[in-house]
Structure 1
């Protein structure tokens, strides 16, 4: 058993998830951080890396295998956390992926890409959450149990209608359209679905005192889109900026915006 806050983050061996672990390790608050990864070897390597970087951190980082596309994996992770700790204070649903570029390259059919996008970004996240909620409800943290979903700035219907992003600009007349003009339909649709899923969990857990958020971290230079250099040229931010934002939400600095999709500086419109 431990007196630390128990925090589980999925997809945490790389990208924003890993940077969030790094950010939490630099906090004065002591956490037991369960670094989730599909591949246990990669999760273990990430843990060793962060332990070497922050040997004096008050927090403890441990690897845990969890693949949100696999119900058996999710259930095994639940049993592990349940038996070792008996509760969970924070669940960060970070695992996600873009599959739209794989349609253009011919690596996935459109149906495969769309199904996989929803399976990873929405369905898998729903099942992960549903499975772990009983442990969140056993939290006795003074900060209150927290349920976080990592969403996307591309998921807002309001701004899409206003054409505020390059992917919202009309494609030139004619067919076929260039792959770039086809956009990220499966990814952003799945994340928009996640936003409503978040609202459902707000409703379901309101009387239980669970603080639920969707976090829109901004365009970050990670491997999510498959081309970090291109993202950087497009103005992508250092992922540590997004990670520090996630840490701030964990530590209660945006509690006035509970139940909403939040950005670092404002509330993202629906």
Structure 2
């Protein structure tokens, strides 16, 4: 199937990596739904991309709201009848820097998991029937190298001292979910992988980082567009396979 025939949806896409992922998919010819929890912001971002001649449309989707997820799935089914690509990009970071892992509040843990894990699982469950209607569905779960348990246990690792526990563990759980879903989808035409975008300059980290959002979106876009012989159930940054 040509990219121009594909339908994609990117969550958390009104800004940052998500918005750039929408832009790059649309530049590749994919008809891309820009999803955001705030409909007005989603429409504003979509109009800016449409002004560049890109095939983008807006949709309201709050991954922490079951009713919003269900409504979005119904809307995609009504508009398009299927979904070829789902990029689970929405995420939050609420940990208080400087606090030890045992000192982060339980509310921080719950809110983080509601969006980063439970929202991602719920969104995938809602859209999986539409992905199963596609000739070759693709699911990309945006994780982080900070979810790598192996690297957190390695004193020589560059992330060894980056202990943002609620965020990190939520991303470890996303990686584990990806492995479980990949097992379920083995032998099907749907591929699911998880990615680390890089240390990207975004609002989430106050503009700190080593690369821009365009570079940060590259891995999501690459995995969204893999052929039938592409990977299944992997953890990637660009072409590099990361340790779980």
The alpha-carbon deviation at position 205 of structure 1 amounts to 1.4
Is 1:150 the equivalent of 2:124? no
The residue that corresponds to 1:252 in the other structure is: 226
TM-score (norm 2): 0.91
The residue that corresponds to 1:46 in the other structure is: 45
Is 1:262 the equivalent of 2:242? no
SS in 2 for 1:159: helix
1:159 to 143, 151, 158: 151
Q: Give the length in aligned residue pairs.
A: 237
8 Å CA contact retained: 1:213, 1:258? yes
Larger radius of gyration: 1
Bigger mean CA deviation after superposition, 74-83 or 245-254: 245-254
Q: Distance in 1 between the 2:47 and 2:110 partners?
A: 34
Structure 1, gaps ≥5 residues long: 170-180
Output the aligned Cα RMSD. Answer: 2.0
Please list the CA deviations of residues 175-208 of structure 1 after superposition, one character each: whole Å capped at 9, or x if unmatched.
Answer: xxxxxx8x31000000000100011110111132
SS in 2 for 1:36: strand
SS in 2 for 1:224: helix
Q: Distance in 1 between the 2:193 and 2:228 partners?
A: 9
SS in 2 for 1:62: strand
The alpha-carbon deviation at position 165 of structure 1 amounts to 4.8
Bigger mean CA deviation after superposition, 238-247 or 86-95: 238-247
Q: Distance in 1 between the 2:146 and 2:49 partners?
A: 30
The alpha-carbon deviation at position 71 of structure 1 amounts to 0.2
The residue that corresponds to 2:216 in the other structure is: 242
8 Å CA contact retained: 2:22, 2:33? no
Please list the CA deviations of residues 57-103 of structure 1 after superposition, one character each: whole Å capped at 9, or x if unmatched.
Answer: 4xx10000000100000000011011111111001100001010389
The alpha-carbon deviation at position 7 of structure 1 amounts to 0.3
SS in 2 for 1:147: strand
Structure 2, gaps ≥5 residues long: none
The residue that corresponds to 1:90 in the other structure is: 85
The residue that corresponds to 1:4 in the other structure is: 5
The alpha-carbon deviation at position 215 of structure 1 amounts to 1.0
8 Å CA contact retained: 1:8, 1:90? yes
Pair 1:196–1:167, CA change in 2 (3 A): same
The residue that corresponds to 2:204 in the other structure is: 224
